[in-house]
Amino acid sequence: MSEITHRTIATNGINMHIAEQGEGPLVVLVHGFPELWHAWRHQLPALADAGYHAVAPDVRGYGRTDAPEPVEGYSMVNMTADIVGLLDALGEETAVVIGQDWGSDIAWRTALLYPERFTAVVALSVPFMPRPPVPPIQMFKQIFADTFMWILYFQEPGVAEAELEADVRRSISVMFYAASGDAPRGSGMPAKKKGAGLLDGLPEPRLPMPWFTEADLEYFVGEFERTGFRGAFNRYRNMDRDWEELPQLADAKVQQPALFIAGEHEVMPTLFGTDAMREHVPNLQDVITLPGCGHWAQQERPVEVSTALIQFLKGL
């Protein structure tokens, strides 16, 4: 069996670190916040064994991939172009794109903007959300006027960075535990007032978890201690810019075959619903719910997720 290998490729004006394994049709695995290529450590060998070339990048702003200084460098226009440039760098015309968390949103938008390059799409944790009628940050400010909302908290450069970078080990530990299926139900998003910090009110982690070893924690901590969280938060700071730059996505439909996977305790489908996803993704093949699982589906339930991915890919 082949091993996971690492290299750096040039895409869309940046240097991107990728982890890859296997040979065959290309499958691109896009991580979310606050993760890295390492979030796909179980899927890379599983997909390789099934006959695919599995590639998991550190997306821009994370890990060993470049982190441009301008906030606007993290717009969805750039994030999707990075993935297309990855295909070009590998000499591939088409691929299947799979994402989790922010990676899901990148995967959905990549499939919409470049339908000729991406033959299918899989999203974990975050369902397809259509373009809202008004810029999303403006909308969130009205809805969550006096209530803490993480996306609004991330908007002011430097604020969330200072909180999470004060103790990266504790920040990673708390975030991963609180949003997992191992934490008490509902503890990942406690009700709190505007002005609170992200970590305020979250339960103290019980580590290690069966799916998140000390070695896994060390890898994430080491990378974020080196890079900080600026690049990660800058993705959130482009949501209104994305709305303005991509008006063509209003009422757009993902026509490719699609699959959605989420943990039973995942909050995103509850917050944003799946009805709009079914309406805007007419070729949605299945919605899979993983019992007892939280936000980190491919890490918490690696066998189930890998099996579902391979079954979907083989059916294309």
Q: Is 295 a catalytic residue?
A: yes
Selecting among 66, 101, 182, 216, the annotated active-site residue is: 101
Instruction: Give the Å distances, CA to CA, from 101 to 5, 35, 130, 196, 261.
Output: 24, 9, 16, 23, 11
Residue 19, beta-bridge partner list: 6, 56
The answer to whether 54 touches 44, Cβ cutoff 8 Å, is yes
Q: Is 146 a catalytic residue?
A: no
Residue 282: exposed, middle, or buried by beta-carbon count in 10 A (0-12, 13-18, 19+)? Answer: exposed
Structure tokens of 141? 């400010």
> Which residues neighbour 258 within 8 Å (Cβ) at sequence distance 6 or greater?
111, 120, 121, 122, 123, 128, 281, 283, 284, 285
Q: Active-site residue numbers?
A: 101, 295
